[in-house]
Amino acid sequence: MIQRNYTATFGQLLYRGRSRWVPLPEWACFLLHVGARVAGSRAEDGRLVVALSLPVRTFAAALAGASAVVTAFVNRPAVSDGNEHFDYLASLPEGTAISHHRANVVQQGRLVGVETDVDDGIPRVRIRLRSGDRCLPVGLSREIQVIDEPGTLKVTRQKLIRDPEFLSRALPGIDVAALSAKTRLDCVLVGVQHALQEELLARQFGTGEGAGIHEGSLQGIVRARDVTGSKDAYRSAIIPATSEEGDPPVSFSTPHVAIFDGARAFSYWRSRWTESNWLVLLDRGAPSAEEGADAVNQAYATRLRESNALAGVEVPPGVEALAYVERR
C-alpha cells in the first residue's frame, strides 16, 4: 500500500517523470512522513534520533526537511516576532543598509553584525549610525529595518512567495504567506552544500492535474537561508558538511530538527544541535556509509530507549530505518 496521505499538512505532490507528471513514489512519501514525525516528536528525557539507510540520498534531506519545516510551523507558534526578526538580521551580511526607527527619529546606517556581550551574555545586533554604534537586544531588534539603499528610505520588499499556486495546493490549510514571511530556524540541513541547493531549487515538483499543473521547488517550503541569492525570510539553513572550522549560523532559535545528509555530515557535526531531534540519512551506495553506520550503531548501543516515533509508518522496500532516543 502506498502511503499517499503522508502528512495531514501536504496535498498531493507530483514529480516530473520521464514523460509526464506522476504522484510521488512510496519512498518520497515515507520521507515526508519521517520529517513530520521527527519534527513533531518531543521527548522530555532525550533526543529522538531516526536513522535511515537508503539506496540513494538524492532529495531525501530536501523532502524530509520540507515536512519538518511545515510541521514545526504548525506545531510551534512563534514565541515572539522579536526572535524571528533578530534571527533574520543575524543572517544578513555586514554592511547591509538599514534604518533605525526610534520614537519620531529615523536614521539610516549599516548592519555590523551580531555579538554576545561578555559581561551579561546577551546577544545584540550592532548597527552603525551616523551618530555612532548602537547595540540592540532581541526585544528592540524590530526597530531595525532593512532598506534598499541609504537615501531611499525604502524598506526592502521582495516577492514573498515565488510559486503561490504550487505552495497553496501543496500545503492546503497552511497560511503560506505567514510561512514565507517570517524567519525562524526550525531545521538545519547538514550536507554537501551544492548538492542540497540543487535539490532544493530543482523545479521537478508540481501540484494539480491535467493541463493545470503548477510547478515549483522544495525551496519554496524548506526556505533554506541564502539559497536563492536573496535575503528572504528563512525557515532552515544549509550547513556544509565538511566546514570543520565553520560555526553554525548565529541564531536566537534552536532548530527543532537537524538533518544529517550523509555519513560525513553526521561524523563532523553530531556534537552540535544536541537539543534538536536528529534525522541521519546514509546512502548505502557511498563509500562512507559503513563509517556512518558504525557511528549510528555505537550511539544506538548506548541509547536511552527505543522510540516508537515511526509506529504506523510503513518502511518502503529498500529502505532501512532505526529510531531511538538518546541522552541529550
Interface with another protein by CB under 8 A: which residues? 15-18, 25, 27-28, 51, 53-59, 192, 194-195, 198-199, 202, 204-205, 241-242, 244, 264, 267, 282-291, 293, 296-297, 300-301, 306, 310, 314-322
CA 229/CA 49 separation, integer angstroms: 32
Nearest approach in angstroms of CB 132 to another protein is: 29
- Closer residue to another protein in complex, CB, 226/291: 291
Q: CA 238, CA 126: separation in Å to the nearest integer?
A: 25
C-alpha closest to that of 137 among 148, 128, 126, 146: 126
Smaller CB distance to another protein: residue 81 or 294?
294
CB-nearer residue toward another protein: 63 or 127: 63
**Closest C-alpha to 113, from 131, 129, 127:** 127
Q: How far is the CB of 123 from another protein (least distance, A)?
A: 26
In whole angstroms, how close is the CB of 89 to another protein at the nearest point?
29
Residues 6+ apart with CB under 8 A from 99: 106, 107, 108, 109, 144, 145, 147, 153, 155
Three-state secondary structure call for residue 215: strand
Residue 212 or 318 having the CB closest to another protein = 318
As measured in angstroms, the least distance from the Cβ of 178 to another protein is: 28
Q: Which is nearer to another protein, 60 or 257 (CB)?
A: 60
Q: How far is the CB of 313 from another protein (least distance, A)?
A: 10
Cell of 90: 543575524
What residues contact residue 257 under an 8 Å CB cut-off, 6+ apart?
35, 38, 39, 65, 68, 72, 186, 187, 188, 276, 277, 278, 279
On whether the CB atoms of residues 55 and 318 are closer than 8 A, the answer is: yes
Q: Which is nearer to another protein, 28 or 90 (CB)?
A: 28
Closest distance between another protein and the C-beta of residue 199, in Å? 5
Q: Which of 112, 99, 113, 96 is nearest to 151 (CA)?
A: 99
Q: Return all residues near 159 (Cβ < 8 A) that are at least 6 apart.
A: none
Query: What's the number of CA atoms in the CB half-sphere (13 Å) around residue 276?
Result: 24
Task: Match 519512498 to its residue by C-alpha cell.
Answer: 27
The nearer residue to another protein, 94 or 290, going by C-beta atoms, is: 290
**Cell 515565488 -> residue:** 162
Q: Whole-number minimum distance, CB 307 to another protein, in Å?
A: 11
Q: How far apart are CB 24 and another protein at their closest, in Å?
A: 8
